[in-house]
Amino acid sequence: MKDILGIEVWKFGDNAIVTINSLVYISLSGIVIWFAYRWTKKLSKAAVKAGRLDTGREFAITRIAKYLFIVIFVFIALVSLKVNQAAFTFLAPLLIGIGLGLQQVANDVISGLILLVEPSIRVNDIVEVDGTVARVKEIGLRTSTVTSREGVTMIIPNHKLVSEKLINWSTNDAVTRFSITVGVAYGSDVELVKKLLIEIAWKHTKIITNPTPLVFFQDFGESSLDFELVFWSNHLFPIEEVRSDIRFMIDAAFRDNDITIPFPQRDIHVIDTPKNSLI
């Protein structure tokens, strides 16, 4: 049996030897590592169902475990094949050249590991990148996938999520402050305007009432009295739909109460100069 396992299947000069024993060892190691990864994934999902772990951390744990098991498998394979160090010495210049040419890729990979280890950004978080609000769907080793409000899937290099300016709306205890501005005509009942805006905010099902919605009399504008309705909501991703609903409700409430939303206008006074004054 020992002689059979020691039979050489392939030989790469003096750098590596493939035997039946090494193939069996690599196969068994692969099976064990595969079951270990499945077990880790199953435990993580069970922790999510039990409420001890959120989906973002579960994704990070399973992804890190996957990469770790891959490294372990590669190491076991190299040891089993008895790869000579001279092979790595021979490949060193080539690997250095490839490394210099792939600096940005290496930056993205390191950034991906940082994202998986640190809890700053997780799967299902709502982020704003370059003015686009999107939900994080997947954090990969080099790139991450996000989906915008319009349903567009974008692939973003990981270094942009780590080193560039980014807003993570999901880190604000899931409740965020928003506002809508509206102007009314001069001469309007400002107390009635305030009352209507507060009532509208209280009626909307996606606006929370603690903290209480507020109304600020912002300014005396050129054509209108300017008000700001401030409210809080935990519906971060569809917040533009919420804002649109509120604007519809404001327009309807103002029409019912004869409150006018003015449009910008200017009065031009023409002075009639007598003709003889020009001589």
Please tell me the predicted confidence (pLDDT) of residue 211: 86
Please tell me the predicted confidence (pLDDT) of residue 56: 65
The tokens of 221 are what? 């504008």
Cα–Cα dist 164/169, whole Å: 16
* Length of the chain in terms of residues written: 279
Contact 142, 126 (CB under 8 A): no
H or E element in which residue 181 lies:
strand 176-184
- pTM of the prediction? 0.55
**Residue given tokens 């770790």 in the structure block:** 68
Radius of gyration of the chain (CA): 32
Residue in 263, 255, 251 with CA at minimum distance from that of residue 180: 251
- Domains in the chain, CATH or no CATH each: 2-101 (no CATH), 119-170 (2.30.30.60), 176-256 (3.30.70.100)
**Conformational region of residue 20, where left means phi above 0, alpha means psi within -120 to 50, and beta covers everything else:** alpha
Cα–Cα dist 158/109, whole Å: 7
Give me the tens of pLDDT residue by residue for the chain, a chain 279 residues long: 555 555 555 555 555 566 667 777 788 888 888 888 888 888 888 877 777 766 666 777 787 788 788 888 888 877 776 666 555 565 566 566 655 556 666 677 777 777 777 767 888 888 888 878 888 888 877 888 898 887 888 888 888 888 778 888 776 556 788 999 999 999 999 999 999 999 999 999 889 888 899 999 999 988 899 999 999 988 888 888 999 999 999 999 999 999 999 887 777 777 766 666 555
b/e sequence 217-240, b meaning 16+ C-beta within 10 Å: eeeeeeebbbbebbbbbebbbebe
3-class SS of residue 179:
strand
Please tell me the predicted confidence (pLDDT) of residue 270: 76
Contact 168, 120 (CB under 8 A): yes
Please tell me the predicted confidence (pLDDT) of residue 246: 94
Please tell me the predicted confidence (pLDDT) of residue 45: 81
**57: exposed, middle or buried (Cβ count in 10 Å: 0-12, 13-18, 19+):** middle
